[in-house]
Structure 1
Amino acid sequence: MRLTPGTGSDIDLGRVDLFDLSLYTSGDPHAIWDVMRRKAPLHHQVLPDGREFWSVTRYDDVCRVLGDHREFTSERGTVVTHLGVDDVAGGKLLTSTDPPRHTAVRRAIGSRLTARAVASWEDRIRQAIVRFLEPAGDGGTFDLAEQALLLPAIVTGPILGIPERDWDELVQLTAMVTAPSDPHFQHGSEAATLAISHHELVTYVTEWVKRRRVAGGEDGSLLDHLMSVRVGDTLLTDEEIALDGYSILLGANVTTPHTVAGTVHALIERPEQFAKAQADLSLVPNLAEEGLRWSSAACNFMRYAVDDVRIGGGTIPARGAVVAWIGSANRDESQFTDPHTFDITRGNAKRQIAFGFGPHFCIGAPLARLTLRIFFEELLQRFGSIDLAGEPQHLRSYFIAGMTHLPIVAQNRKTP
């Protein structure tokens, strides 16, 4: 999507189709979201096939929908690609489970992903990122968006226990899950792409678990840790391990590449911001937060109302689907001054909710923040300039805001 808004003066919300994929590949959803926040903070849409959903676009309303599982359940599905069909993994898949079960599983997994725990991986992650950036420094064209798809696997593969030979395939499969209509990843219809990728990912983790049980012992990986997780006195079943492993793989591979590409693109378009960060590396953590706010790679999440709920000046009926637009909330002018300005010195950038909000706040956020900080530290110290070498191409997805191509030319920084 374009990351800066149009005027919005001629937008008719009655005719807006938030399921129109062209809106995200070449259109301007921010102009529409701006109008929705002002005029229709609770927006209702009925699709041609009869499915319907409500949208919230204001920061406070998005946080309420994502934060209160008693009003808005995750157990019927959380992504818009499943609208109208209850998630068969509800109550088992971590992302489609409400507290208290969600809390118990999350606590056991999250103990391995705290800021203190991931800090011990900093040197390993930095070495991986240095290797990743080396090809960009030869003065040739480097497609950052395309290459960055592999970045989370390079960083988290060893942590998860995934062998390098499987990284490419798993990255492709997770992209198919999140952008099943994008021609780069589509295999047949959207439904077929989703079915194939879901099946292959769950099968991969299932087979991984079987091999680990045969091998015995522990390898210290995060997936291995899942095999010892208990909910109460009961170990997770192999099916639950496979589903939660699938969820972790998706979370690890999906958003970081698009945050990297979106933030680098913003810096290229604003060389004064690039220079400011380069002159003061202490700004890098805030640069990462602003990049997360600006890119909002996880564009939205879906919930279902448990009962009739008053919100945004209207009512969502019981069992109604509601889409919480994170990309809009992160540009809410009531929370962020000049929200369509990319500013690495923004004082409240960390209020962004790119990692979600509430019980389902991204469990891998500490690792993602560490990865982004190291990435931009290395980028700024290594390159004196970065320029576009072609037109960016945006992901064809209404769930993930990102790029499939961002060709750049980088010049190594001259040392004194």
Structure 2
Amino acid sequence: MRLTPGPARDVDLDTLDLFDLDLYSTGDPHPIWDVMRERAPLHHQVLPDGREFWSVTRYEDVRRVLGDHREFTSERGTVPTHLGTDDAAAGVLMTSTDPPRHTEVRRPLNAKLTARAVRSWEDKIRATVRRFLQPALDGETFDLAEQALLLPALVTGPLLGIPEKDWAELVQLTAMVTAPCDPHFLVGSEAATLAISHHELLNYVRDWATTRRADGGEDDSLLHHLMSVRPGGAPLSDEEIALDGYSILLGANVTTPHTVSGTVQALVERPEQYAKAQADPTLVPGLVEEGLRWTSAACNFMRYAVDDVRIGGGTIPARGAVVAWIGSANRDASVFPDPHTFDITRDGAKRHGAFGFGPHFCIGAPLARMTLRIFFEELLDGCASIELAGEPEHLRSYFIAGMTHLPVAAQKRHTP
């Protein structure tokens, strides 16, 4: 989708289709969300097949839906691709589980992913990022969006305990889960793409767990750590490890690449912002937060109302599906003044909801922030300038806002 929106326009809220994939691959949803926040902060849509959902677009409403599991449960599915079919893994899969079980599984993993814990990975990540950027520094036309899909695996593969030979395949499978209609990842039909990717990812983690149990090996990887988690006092079964490992793989792989490419595109389009960050490296953390807000790679998440809930000036009925549009919340002018301006010195950018809110706040946020900081430190240090070398191509997905192609050409920076 376009991250820099076009001009305001009239929107017919009665015929609006938020599941129109063209709106995200070639369209411009931000002017639509602007109208929704103003005129329809709670919007109801019925799809041609009879499925229905409600949408919230204002920052405070999105935070409430994602942050309060007592009003809005995760245990029927959390992504719009599951709309109308309850998630078979609900109550087990970490992303589709409410507290207290969610907390019991997450807490021991969280201890390995705090800002202090991941700090020891900084040197390894910096070396990885330098290798990643080298082709661009050597003057090659570099398709950043295409190459960046592999970047999280380069960084987190060793942390997760996944051998390098498997990284590319797992990246492809996680992309199939989150963008099953995009022609780069589509295998037959959307349903077939989802079925294949779910099956292959679950089998991968299940086989990994079975092998580790059989050989009794010990390591410090995050997936191995799942084997010691004991929610309710009982260890996880191999099937539970497979589901939670699947959840971790998705979280690790699917958003950071699109934050990288979308933020670089914003800087290419605004060379004065690039120059400002290059002149003052202390601005890089702010650049990262503004990039997270601006791109909102996880465009939305879904919940279900437990009971009738008053919100956004209306009522979501009990068991009604509600989609919380993070991409809209992060452009809410009541929280982010002049929200469609990309400003690396923005005060309060860190209030963004790119990592979610509440119990399901992204467990990997400290690692993602550090990876993004290092990436932009190295980019700014190594590249005097960067420009487009072709047309961007946007992901065909209403769940993940991102790009499949962003060809760029960099001018190497020569320092005395």
TM-score (norm 1): 0.99
* CA positional deviation for 1:108: 1.4
Greater CA drift, 207-216 or 27-36: 207-216
* CA positional deviation for 1:140: 2.0
SS at match of 1:78: coil
Q: Which amino acid letter does the alignment assign opposite residue 6 of structure 1?
A: G
Q: What's the counterpart of residue 98 of structure 1?
A: 98
Question: What is the CA–CA distance in structure 1 between the aligned matches of 2:135 and 2:219, rounded to whole Å?
Answer: 32
* CA positional deviation for 1:214: 1.7
- Flag structure 2 segments of 5+ consecutive residues without an equivalent: none
Question: What is the CA–CA distance in structure 1 between the aligned matches of 2:81 and 2:56, rounded to whole Å?
Answer: 17
Q: What's the counterpart of residue 415 of structure 2?
A: 415
Question: What is the CA–CA distance in structure 2 between the aligned matches of 1:174 and 1:186, rounded to whole Å?
Answer: 12
Q: What's the counterpart of residue 114 of structure 1?
A: 114
Q: Which amino acid letter does the alignment assign opposite residue 179 of structure 1?
A: A
Question: What is the CA–CA distance in structure 1 between the aligned matches of 2:6 and 2:332, rounded to whole Å?
Answer: 15
SS at match of 2:70: coil
Q: Give CA-to-partner distance per residue, 1:1-41, whole Å, 9 cap, x none.
A: 01122333321111110000000011110010000000000
Q: What's the counterpart of residue 186 of structure 1?
A: 186
Question: What is the CA–CA distance in structure 2 between the aligned matches of 1:356 and 1:212, rounded to whole Å?
Answer: 32
Q: Which amino acid letter does the alignment assign opposite residue 169 of structure 1?
A: E
Question: What is the CA–CA distance in structure 2 between the aligned matches of 1:392 and 1:81, rounded to whole Å?
Answer: 25
Question: What is the CA–CA distance in structure 1 between the aligned matches of 2:212 and 2:345, rounded to whole Å?
Answer: 47
Q: What's the counterpart of residue 406 of structure 1?
A: 406
SS at match of 1:13: coil
SS at match of 1:195: helix
SS at match of 1:378: helix
2:150 equivalent to 1:143? no
Matches within 5 A, 1:102-251: 102-251=102-251
Question: What is the CA–CA distance in structure 1 between the aligned matches of 2:210 and 2:344, rounded to whole Å?
Answer: 47
Q: Which amino acid letter does the alignment assign opposite residue 343 of structure 1?
A: D
* CA positional deviation for 1:66: 0.2
Q: What's the counterpart of residue 334 of structure 2?
A: 334
Matches within 5 A, 1:11-410: 11-410=11-410
Q: Give CA-to-partner distance per residue, 1:58-116, whole Å, 9 cap, x none.
A: 00000000000010000000000000000000000000000011011110111110111
* CA positional deviation for 1:172: 0.2
RMSD: 0.6
Question: What is the CA–CA distance in structure 1 between the aligned matches of 2:371 and 2:166, rounded to whole Å?
Answer: 21
* CA positional deviation for 1:138: 1.7
Q: Give CA-to-partner distance per residue, 1:234-282, whole Å, 9 cap, x none.
A: 1111111110000000000000000000000000000000000000001
* CA positional deviation for 1:395: 0.1
Question: What is the CA–CA distance in structure 2 between the aligned matches of 1:50 and 1:6, rounded to whole Å?
Answer: 32
* CA positional deviation for 1:232: 2.7
Question: What is the CA–CA distance in structure 1 between the aligned matches of 2:343 and 2:61, rounded to whole Å?
Answer: 25
Question: What is the CA–CA distance in structure 2 between the aligned matches of 1:366 and 1:242, rounded to whole Å?
Answer: 24
Q: Which amino acid letter does the alignment assign opposite residue 332 of structure 1?
A: D
Question: What is the CA–CA distance in structure 2 between the aligned matches of 1:217 and 1:140, rounded to whole Å?
Answer: 43
Question: What is the CA–CA distance in structure 2 between the aligned matches of 1:365 and 1:108, rounded to whole Å?
Answer: 16
SS at match of 1:262: helix
Structure 1's consecutive aligned runs of 4 or more residues displaced over 4 angstroms after TM superposition are none
TM-score (norm 2): 0.99
Question: What is the CA–CA distance in structure 2 between the aligned matches of 1:198 and 1:349, rounded to whole Å?
Answer: 35
SS at match of 2:255: helix
Number of aligned residues:
416
Question: What is the CA–CA distance in structure 1 between the aligned matches of 2:293 and 2:272, rounded to whole Å?
Answer: 19
Question: What is the CA–CA distance in structure 2 between the aligned matches of 1:388 and 1:217, rounded to whole Å?
Answer: 48
Question: What is the CA–CA distance in structure 2 between the aligned matches of 1:235 and 1:341, rounded to whole Å?
Answer: 49
* CA positional deviation for 1:411: 1.1
* CA positional deviation for 1:215: 1.8
SS at match of 1:324: strand
* CA positional deviation for 1:299: 0.1
Identity of aligned residues (%): 79
Question: What is the CA–CA distance in structure 1 between the aligned matches of 2:232 and 2:55, rounded to whole Å?
Answer: 36
Q: Which amino acid letter does the alignment assign opposite residue 197 of structure 1?
A: S
Q: Give CA-to-partner distance per residue, 1:299-344, whole Å, 9 cap, x none.
A: 0000000000000000000000000000000000000010000000
- Flag structure 1 segments of 5+ consecutive residues without an equivalent: none
Question: What is the CA–CA distance in structure 2 between the aligned matches of 1:330 and 1:403, rounded to whole Å?
Answer: 19
Q: Which amino acid letter does the alignment assign opposite residue 124 of structure 1?
A: K
SS at match of 2:14: helix
Q: Which amino acid letter does the alignment assign opposite residue 189 of structure 1?
A: S
Q: Which amino acid letter does the alignment assign opposite residue 91 of structure 1?
A: G
SS at match of 1:384: strand
Q: Which amino acid letter does the alignment assign opposite residue 39 of structure 2?
A: K
SS at match of 2:344: coil
Question: What is the CA–CA distance in structure 2 between the aligned matches of 1:109 and 1:39, rounded to whole Å?
Answer: 42
SS at match of 2:254: helix
* CA positional deviation for 1:357: 0.5
